[in-house]
Structure 1
Amino acid sequence: MQNGFVGSFIGRFRGECLNEHLFANLRNARSLIATWRDDNNHHRPHTGRDELTP
Structure 2
Amino acid sequence: QRGVTLDFSRPGKPTDNAFIEAFNSKLRSECLNAHWFLSLEDACEKLEAWRRHYNEERPHSAIGNIPPIMLANPAGATSPPEPDQAENSRPKRSKVG
For normalisation by structure 1, the TM-score amounts to 0.91
- Structure 2 unaligned spans of 5+: 1-8, 10-15, 69-97
Point out the structure with the larger helix share. 1
Equivalent in the alignment of 1:28: 42
How far apart are 1:53 and its partner, in Å? 1.9
How far apart are 1:26 and its partner, in Å? 0.3
Percentage of identical aligned residues: 35
Residue by residue, what CA displacement relative to the aligned partner does 1:13-48 show, whole Å, maximum 9, x if unpaired? 001100011100100000000000000001111111
The question of 1:9 aligning with 2:33 is answered no
Q: Which runs of 4+ in 1 moved over 2 A?
A: none
Instruction: Let me know the Cα RMSD of the aligned residues.
Output: 1.0
Indicate the structure (1 or 2) with the bigger Cα radius of gyration.
2
Equivalent in the alignment of 1:47: 61
Higher relative contact order (CA 8 A, sep 6+): 1
Q: Quick one: which amino acid aligns to residue 50 of structure 1?
A: G
Q: Quick one: which amino acid aligns to residue 56 of structure 2?
A: H
* Pairs aligned (count): 54
- Structure 1 unaligned spans of 5+: none
